Amino acid sequence: MRKNLNVIAAYSIMMGLIILVGIFQSWNIALSIFNLCLISAVMTMGANIQWGYAGLINFGIMGYTALGGLAAVLISVNPVQEAWSAGGSNILFSLFLIIGMVLAVRYVLKKYDKSKLRTYIIATIIISGIILVRFVSEPGIEAIEEVNPAKTGFLGGFGLPIIFSWIVGAVFAGGLAFIIGKVALGLRADYLAIATLLISEIVIAIIKHEDWLTRGVKNVIGLKRPAPYEVDLQQTDWFINLVEKFNFSKLNLIQDFSERQIALNQLVIEGSSIFVKLCYSGLFLVVVIILLILTQKALYSPWGRMMRAIRDNEEAANAMGKNVVKQHLLIFVLGSAIVGIAGAMLVTQDGLFTPGSYRPMRYTFLIWVMVIVGGSGNNFGAILGGFAVWFLWIEAAPIALFVINITTSGLADNHFLKQHLIESVPYFRFLIMGIGLLLIMRYRPKGILPEKIEIK
Amino acid sequence: MDFINAIILLLNYIFVPALTYGSQLALGAIFVTLIYGILRFANFATGDMMSFGTMAAILFTWYFQSLGVSLGVLPTALIAIPFAIIFMIFYMLLTDKFVFKYYRNQKSPPVQLAMVSIGVMFVTQAVVRIIIGPSDRRFFDGEKFIIKAGEFKEITGLNEGLAIKSTQILTILVTLILVSTLFWFLNKTKTGKSMKAYSDNEDLALLSGIDPKKIVMITWIIAGILATIGGTLYGLDKSFKPFTYFNNMLPIFAAAIVGGIGNPFGAFLGGYVIAFSEILLTYAYKKFFIYVLPESMEPDGLVQLLSTDYKFAVSFSILVIVLLYRPSGIFKGKVL
């Protein structure tokens, strides 16, 4: 109990802050901050596994998040039959061609020794394969994109409940991480950072511009929900009764029946959106807790000890007979898969998929700030980092506004400096993040909750 | 005649733009490579430092414009650049003193310095956006074209026009002058040689009496010059938008690595390699083939290898190929 005091204190302060937002701003805002905090926590857990456990730098978090989001679309949207009949066969055929191409390259790689000839053969296979695939897929893609472009114009998905996409998102992200890991994990740390950053940009470029698969920048809206809809809730009896029960004392003060009815309606509308957000919070909380238990178990298992050994001294671990390359690949895939889950959760919560909104600042660097600030190598720290940084990110604008108003209170309201500063309030969040990161790295380089290894 | 037309077409749409874009990338890549070679970390704040320098140049340009100072046919920004450079160097030395110096003295691993540079990136981005705002700005004035497409057609009587913007010539000339001065400085002067020595082997350089503080300061000064001029030239040629500058960091990094990180000459050429391959692979060759091939063989499609949206993909693929086959870059890296 005693040694965990700082963890408990840090989490209580965090929850207290969110509750304060609920009291002073509104419970709706507090809950949406809480939900995004939970999603950020999942992302930081993924990044923390890679950086904190194994010391691998992954600046491609944005790419995995987007792939998770793509999974949510592909799983939950109903299939567009017309589009399938228009161009589905071409797409499937190109898919087979790509698989064939990969197998051919693998065969050549395995069968022949390294030589100039082998390189040329592989290059020929890849180039002719790409030309062939483009030749086959182009008419299909055009046909698909022409099917009712204002509403669909893409293949659609499988029409399954969106919850499944959380697993599929993990599989997608893990698959991508496997390919990237095979190519790039041998690189030195800073090269790996740059390479993963570039790959995530490419993933976003593909998602943005392959309209037949993702609708691209036309966005997919109105995804299915795992939680009830507000409009339905407002008409169900049990929910109205529940709201009535909760606000019994408040409602009893109103004498007039019709006024009471209006007040009740207002409460039901507010209550419904809070209820939906609570449903999401419950779902997300389950994911966070499951992942936390798993990652904690892994951290204190023999495997976790081995990962720390590899992180702290690669050569020594290698000499002890640990397969460093394989373990790096494994942890790269695992961490990315967790980020993929978070990506699917994010799209599930928003109910829409907007490829244009994936920016490296928000989805890669901010997550890294969370990991570093929270405490790399410590799961509780990573989750706390996700909460604290996301909270600051949202509340930075009101805080900055408050500070500006105080510092410039001597100036007239229409003074140009004051007006300019108030207009640029949204950008103060970058400033706060940057300064926070620099201060933490300087004075508490292990984060708020540092890594603490105890042998159990 | 058709053949000349085809060549003019390629010059107009591929060669001149790629040469300009390549010069802009090259300046950024030399900046990255110098920081990597001497201060030994990958600077993720590159793009934002360039946008900071450009912002300073824009502010000075506006000031000079309000005073009524101008260079006639040349853009006013040229007078603003020296002042912007001083401003930029001041900012860089300040960040070095308050941020990077501590980690250098601690002998922190490069990865930690890279993380710190992310903090600097956030702060710089915030400062730029707070001061000048996130919107798209053009600050070019003076004569826009050296040759307009129409005039070229009239003079030569060809079907294809060749338009050369004054900013393109300006970019290429300034880059050439700057880069040759830099190489002269690095290879011929005593300070330059001591920088090379410091990059090669820090301990040995210290033993032979080289002052590390001076080396670091000169590195930041050169970096400030490169960042400001590179950024301003890009802004003059296209437009200034903080987000684009942040994104330009990716091809700049690719150029530096392709050329062999730590090797300024490699970075210089790397910029052109990236620029030319991006434009060559995403250009639609339809018109070119119409000129070159006989009428019966005219292509139906655009004859475009990759859609322009995949510009980043090109620079990354080059990066992967280079890293797989020549991990130290085309020109051997890690020697200054």
Kindly list the residues from chain A whose CB atom is less than 8 angstroms away from the CB atom of residue B121: 365, 434
- Angstrom CA distances, B43 to A434, B229, B241, B249, stand at 15, 18, 20, 10
Indicate the residue of A202, A368, A424 with minimum beta-carbon distance to B129: A424
> What's the whole-number mean pLDDT along residues B99-122?
92
What's the half-sphere exposure (Cβ side, CA atoms, 13 Å) at A447? 29
> pLDDT tens, B249-290?
989 998 998 888 888 898 999 999 999 999 988 888 888 888
Nearest CA in chain B to A427: B126
| Alpha-carbon span B132 to A416, nearest angstrom | 13
Say if B331 falls within a structural domain: no
Nearest CA in chain A to B309: A205
Mean pLDDT, all residues of chain B: 88
Structural domains of chain B, count? 1
- Angstrom CA distances, A87 to A93, A144, A156, B302, stand at 10, 6, 12, 21
- Provide the CA A272 distance to its chain's centre, in angstroms: 26
Say if B316 falls within a structural domain: yes
Say if B333 falls within a structural domain: no
Interface predicted TM-score (ipTM) of this complex, two decimals? 0.89
**Of residues B88, B80, B73, the one with CA closest to residue B228:** B88
> CA torsion, points B216, B218, B224, B227, in degrees to nearest 10?
-80
| CATH number, position B72 | 1.10.3470
**Which domain range does residue B271 map to?**
2-325
What is the predicted pLDDT for the residue at A454?
A: 62
Least confident of A307-316, B112-121, B312-321: B312-321
A-B interface: how many C-beta pairs under 8 angstroms?
116
Q: What is the pLDDT along chain A (456 residues), one digit of tens a residue?
A: 566 888 899 999 999 999 999 998 888 899 999 999 999 999 999 999 999 888 899 999 999 999 999 999 999 988 888 888 888 888 889 999 999 999 998 898 888 887 888 888 888 988 898 888 888 888 888 888 888 777 777 888 888 999 999 999 999 999 999 998 988 887 777 788 888 888 898 899 889 888 888 888 888 888 888 888 888 888 888 888 888 888 777 777 777 788 888 888 888 888 888 999 999 999 999 999 999 999 999 988 999 989 989 988 888 999 999 899 999 999 999 999 999 999 999 999 998 899 989 999 899 999 999 999 988 888 999 999 999 999 999 988 888 988 888 888 877 777 888 888 888 888 999 999 999 999 999 998 888 888 876 655
Percent of chain B with pLDDT over 70: 97
DSSP element (H, E) containing B221: helix B212-237
> pLDDT tens, B24-54?
999 999 999 999 989 889 999 999 999 999 9
Kindly list the residues from chain B whose CB atom is less than 8 angstroms away from the CB atom of residue A183: 320, 324
Indicate the residue of B118, B126, B324 with minimum beta-carbon distance to A365: B118
> pLDDT tens, B160-198?
888 888 899 999 999 999 999 999 999 999 999 999 889
Contact A431 B130 (CB under 8 A): yes
Domain boundaries of chain A, sorted by first residue: 5-79+156-443, 80-155
| Alpha-carbon span A428 to B134, nearest angstrom | 13
Q: Which of A362, A389, A428, A441 to mutate to test the interface with B (most CBs of B within 10 A)?
A: A441
Nearest-10 crossing angle of helices B242-258, B212-237: 120
What's the half-sphere exposure (Cβ side, CA atoms, 13 Å) at B56? 26
> What's the whole-number mean pLDDT along residues B294-320?
76
Contact A365 B323 (CB under 8 A): no
